[in-house]
């Protein structure tokens, strides 16, 4: 990101600044943990924990690879395989709004309250477009199960184009999902609620040290979840170019492709962060309700029509 | 194996708590939340009966109840905001006259 | 056996949340205990095998409707509740009355049970069947509820909008 903005960025800690996140984490652990006297204590302490718990739980239903056999145990590469995996991820994302709203309210200061209200209103508005853009993929795959959605994207057509959902006509849905994901995770260009130049620092003004770190961990975990979901739904999950190498490599190869795709998506996130300016709040809400939502509905209708006419 | 009556008892307790809240609370938002609690209790008994008789129409009805609850919550909260703007209070005992 | 344990644990959480809603004086605490009630109800639905209903309960009820409640409580800055004469009378008669009524109803339900047990996950059908039913047998209620939601959206927007927001255009013209 430093390179994108033509400045050095953190380069002192470790080679090329790779150890910087570790140094940041250690700094947060050692910082003094303040408890301002005017806050509403139970919710003040619980809000970052709520945000973090929900951000980390949604990763548990995401499959990262095929079934593999390790030491004789045949296991799928995810924590649980549920029939409604996609709905669970969407539900937990909806619950994550509480962390932000309660943090803003419990801090008992006007900047935090306004920042919290704005952030949660933004998250709730873009959740709808997020869900609707995924319904197009659902219609094509026919199941809520994340593993089955990825399996429906295996194989190639026209000799070299992989049969990912993004190439199978869902590219509009992919862009809707991309924009809704940026707004859901409060990243640029939609990060008005937590921008440094606006409203002091938004809903985490009154937080320090570990609780602040928990909010940021929750934000990054949310980003990873959103990236995983995008790879599973639109970019073909763990399918990559054909199997090569000895069987031990073949077992791990799907995970490698999955990781590559997630990194590509996160790179896109950071690229956009270094490049675009941010939206004003009314522009942001107008964009979500007046542009993305009708577009997502239109995408849904057209996908449903095509699938129904083809069958 | 849980008998059906346990689910019905739980649903009944939730409904009774909702009715009690509706009667004793004075804050209009808390009254609305008691209404939502009642609707949730009813949803539970719908789903329990649907499981008992292996009929899916119980589940479908739960969706309709949820949609109606959502619509009612939205309109009700809008009314509360409008009343708050003129009366400056959320206590139902103070909103007992048409005249301000 | 495990079924009974999970059912009892989350049933107790439900009832505790409902009672907490009544007991708390600040509406934000009541709202959060209602969210807990809805979460444990979602677990109960999962026990009955209604996984789609459980997911929709979390997404719609706990994730949208209760967020709306929390927003309104934060916006209107509702303070703690006051005790007036009317509410004391209501508590004196209402709470024991409700307790007696619910104990009576529970006793009748358990004594006349005879209808047998429900196994874990007793409901048939993946969400596909629900979709089929919604669009074939229940099409009319589905369309009517969508009209209802549209009317509710329009009503909420009109009611909550600022009363004087249209004046400046007329004055400039």
In a structure prediction context, what are the per-residue pLDDT tens digits for chain C, which is 173 residues long?
Answer: 788 888 899 999 999 999 999 888 888 889 999 999 999 999 998 888 888 889 899 999 999 999 999 989 888 877 776 667 767 777 788 788 888 888 888 888 877 765 566 666 656 667 777 888 888 888 899 999 999 999 999 999 888 877 665 444 444 44
Residue numbers in A near C130 (CB within 8 A): none
C103–B contact, CB cutoff 8 A: no
Is residue A117 predicted with pLDDT exceeding 80?
Answer: yes
Measured over the CA atoms of residue A101, residue A103, residue A108 and residue A111, the dihedral's sign is negative
The partner residue sitting opposite B14, judged by closest CB among C14, C109, C124, is: C14
Which one of C33, C74, C78 makes the best mutation probe of the B interface by having the most chain B beta carbons within 10 Å?
Answer: C78
B2, B29, B51: residue with CB nearest C27: B29
Cβ atoms of A115 and A194 within 8 Å: the answer is yes
* Partner C contacted by A144 (CB < 8 A): yes
Could A124 and C67 be called an inter-chain contact, meaning their C-beta atoms sit closer than 8 Å?
Answer: yes
**Contact C82/B at CB under 8 A:** yes
Crossing angle of helices B28-52 and C2-23, in 10° steps, is: 160
Record: contact A104-C74, CB cut-off 8 A: yes
Contact B5, C106 (CB under 8 A): no
Q: What is the pTM of this model?
A: 0.86
Residues belonging to chain C with any Cβ–Cβ distance to chain A shorter than 8 Å:
28, 32, 35, 51-52, 55-56, 58-59, 62-64, 67, 70-71, 74-75, 126-128
The residue assigned the tokens 């409604």 is A84
| Chain B CB within 8 Å of residue C134 CB | yes
Q: Residue A121 in contact with residue A217, Cβ under 8 Å?
A: no
Q: Do chains B and C touch (3 or more CB pairs under 8 A)?
A: yes
Q: How far is C140 from chain A (nearest CA, A)?
A: 20
Start-to-end CA span in chain B (Å)? 57
Would an 8 Å CB–CB cutoff place A77 in contact with chain C? no
Report the chain B residue with the minimal C-alpha distance to residue C59: B66
Of B5, B47, B64, the CB nearest to C113: B5
| Helical (H) or strand (E) element with C70 | helix C66-76
Kindly list the partner chains of chain A, i.e. chains with 3 or more CB atom pairs below 8 Å: C
Contact with chain B for residue C150, Cβ under 8 A: no
Spatial separation of the C-alpha atoms in residues A51 and A96, rounded to whole Å: 6
Does residue A38 carry a pLDDT above 50?
A: yes
Distance, in Å, from the CA atom of A92 to the CA atom of A127, rounded to the nearest integer, reads 11
Chain C nearest C-alpha distance from B97 (Å): 16
Pure H helices in chain B? 4-24, 28-52, 57-87
Q: How far is CA A224 from the centre of its chain?
A: 5
What is residue C16's predicted lDDT score, i.e. its pLDDT?
94
Q: How many CB atoms lie within 10 A of CB B13?
A: 21
Reported as a pLDDT band with limits 50, 70 and 90, residue A32 is low
Q: B76 to chain C: nearest residue by CA? A: C156
Indicate if the alpha-carbon torsion angle A251, A253, A259, A261 is positive or negative: negative
The chains found to touch C (3+ Cβ pairs under 8 angstroms) are: A, B
Which alpha helices (DSSP H) does chain A contain, by range?
20-30, 41-57, 85-95, 97-106, 110-141, 146-151, 171-184, 209-233, 247-275, 281-286, 293-310
Interface touch C15/B40, C-beta < 8 Å: no
- Confidence at A64, pLDDT banded by 50, 70, 90: confident
The pLDDT of residue B53 is 81
Q: How does pLDDT run across A281-296, given as a tens digit for each residue?
A: 888 888 888 999 999 9
Question: What residues are paired with A74 via a beta bridge?
Answer: A69
The answer for residues whose C-beta is within 8 angstroms of residue A219's C-beta and 6 or more apart is: A55, A185, A186, A187
> In the prediction, which pLDDT does A55 show?
86
DSSP string across B39-63: HHHHHHHHHHHHHHTT-THHHHHHH
Of A84, A87, A113, the CB nearest to C74: A113
């Amino acid at each position: 990101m430093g390179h994108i903005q033509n400045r050095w960025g953190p380069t002192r800690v470790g080679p090329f600044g790779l150890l910087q996140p570790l140094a940041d984490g250690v700094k947060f652990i050692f910082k003094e943990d303040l408890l301002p006297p005017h806050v509403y204590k139970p919710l003040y302490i619980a809000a970052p924990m709520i945000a973090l718990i929900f951000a980390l739980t949604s990763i548990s239903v995401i499959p990262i690879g095929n079934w593999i056999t390790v030491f004789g145990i045949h296991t799928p590469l995810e924590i649980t395989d549920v029939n409604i995996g996609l709905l669970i991820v969407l539900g937990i994302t909806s619950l994550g709004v509480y962390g932000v709203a309660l943090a803003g309210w419990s801090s008992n200061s006007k900047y935090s309250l306004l920042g919290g209200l704005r952030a949660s209103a933004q998250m709730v508005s873009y959740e709808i477009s997020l869900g609707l853009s995924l319904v197009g993929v659902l219609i094509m795959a026919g199941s809520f199960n994340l593993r089955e959605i990825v399996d429906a994207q295996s194989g190639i057509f026209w000799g070299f184009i992989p049969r990912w959902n993004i190439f199978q006509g869902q590219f509009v849905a992919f862009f809707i999902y991309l924009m809704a994901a940026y707004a859901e995770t409060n990243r640029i260009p939609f990060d008005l609620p937590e921008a440094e130049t606006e409203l002091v620092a938004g809903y985490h003004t009154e937080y320090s040290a570990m609780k602040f770190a928990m909010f940021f961990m929750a934000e990054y975990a949310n980003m990873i979840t959103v990236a995983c979901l995008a790879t599973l739904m639109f970019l073909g999950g763990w399918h990559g170019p054909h199997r090569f190498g000895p069987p031990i490599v073949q077992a791990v190869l799907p995970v490698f492709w999955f990781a590559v795709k997630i990194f590509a998506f996160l790179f896109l996130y950071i690229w956009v962060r270094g490049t675009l300016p941010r939206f004003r709040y009314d522009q942001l809400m107008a964009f979500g309700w007046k542009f993305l939502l009708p577009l997502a509905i239109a995408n849904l209708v057209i996908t449903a029509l095509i699938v129904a006419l083809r069958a | 194996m849980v008998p059906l009556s346990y689910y019905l008892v739980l649903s009944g307790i939730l409904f009774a708590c909702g009715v009690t809240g509706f009667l004793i609370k004075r804050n209009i938002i808390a009254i609305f939340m008691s209404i939502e609690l009642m609707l949730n209790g009813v949803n539970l008994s719908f789903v329990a009966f649907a499981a008992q008789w292996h009929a899916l129409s119980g589940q479908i009805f739960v969706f309709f109840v949820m949609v109606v609850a959502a619509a009612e919550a939205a309109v009700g909260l809008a009314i509360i905001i409008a009343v708050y703007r003129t009366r400056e209070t959320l206590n139902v005992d103070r909103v007992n006259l048409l005249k301000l | 056996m495990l079924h009974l344990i999970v059912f009892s644990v989350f049933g107790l959480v439900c009832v505790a949340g409902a009672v907490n809603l009544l007991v708390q004086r600040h509406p934000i605490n009541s709202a959060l205990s209602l969210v807990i009630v809805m979460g444990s109800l979602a677990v109960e639905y999962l026990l009955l095998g209604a996984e789609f209903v459980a997911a929709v309960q979390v997404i719609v009820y706990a994730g949208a409707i209760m967020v709306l409640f929390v927003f309104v409580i934060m916006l209107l800055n509702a303070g703690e509740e006051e005790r007036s004469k009317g509410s004391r009378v209501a508590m004196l008669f209402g709470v024991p009355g409700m307790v007696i009524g619910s104990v009576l109803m529970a006793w009748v339900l358990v004594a006349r049970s005879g209808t047998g047990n429900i196994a874990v996950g007793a409901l048939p059908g993946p969400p596909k069947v629900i979709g089929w039913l919604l669009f074939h047998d229940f099409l009319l209620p589905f369309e009517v509820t969508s009209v209802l939601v549209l009317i509710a959206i329009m009503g909420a927007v009109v009611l909550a909008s600022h009363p004087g927001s249209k004046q400046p255009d007329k004055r400039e013209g």
